[in-house]
Amino acid sequence: MRRFLFILALGFFVAPASARAEKISFVDVAKVFDGYQKTKDSDTKLQAAAKKKEEERDGLVHEVRRLKDEQALLAEDARGKKQEGIDLKVRELQDFDMAARRELGEQRNQTVKEIFKDIDDVVRRYGERKGLDFIFNDRVLLYRSSRYDVSRDILEELNRSYQKKPK
């Protein structure tokens, strides 16, 4: 009888703790990142900025070529002075290339950081609203059932909140 009461008591205290099923979901962050309208808009802006920088660079390259063509027509003694101008323009072009890469890289990094913060915020709010215990990034899962994938819900909510923000 004691043994029966012990097992019954043990079942009473242990069962409620183990009976609670954790609410778990996962998000395909790459899918959400790529589908997010802010990502698409930012890519378009960065491409436009890169194109503008490329046009500026083409102007500098054209100038270097023009100077070299002029140099070829000069007498031997005047070519040395012209070479100094060419060297100066080549350094200007190299400096421009480095500055443009750095500037565009910083813009992209800042934008990516903002996008991931947006995603994190929406995932957190979504989890709280749905009463989820865990939301995993799909990259750390070895196996997952698609029924726990909330990526589409997160993406829809993310895009709705982005559309509401003033641009």
- Decide if 93 is inside a domain: yes
Kindly tell me if the per-residue pLDDT of 14 is higher than 70: no
Query: How many domains is the chain built from?
Result: 1
CATH of the domain at 104: 3.30.910.20
- How does pLDDT run across 77-102, given as a tens digit for each residue? 788 888 888 999 999 999 999 999 99
Maximum separation of any 2 CA atoms in the chain, in Å: 117
- Asked whether residue 16 is assigned to any structural domain, the reply reads no
Helix axes 76-130, 37-73, angle to 10 degrees: 180
Range 110-118 average pLDDT: 97
16 and 138 Cβ atoms separated by less than 8 Å: no
Residue 14 lies in a domain: no
39-64 confidence digits (pLDDT tens): 999 999 999 999 999 999 999 999 99
Whole-angstrom distance, CA of residue 116 vs CA of residue 120: 6
**Domain range for 151:** 22-164
The pLDDT assigned to 71 comes to: 86
Measuring CA to CA, how many Å separate 26 from each of 2, 113, 146? 46, 21, 9
In this structure, is residue 10 part of a structural domain? no
Q: Is 120 part of any domain?
A: yes
Residue 4 located in a structural domain: no
For residues 65-96, b (16+ Cβ closer than 10 Å) or e, as one string?
Answer: eebeeebeeeeeeeeeebeeebeebeeebeeb
- Asked, for residue 52, whether it belongs to a domain, the answer is yes
Domain contains 13:
no
Structure tokens at 74: 């000069």
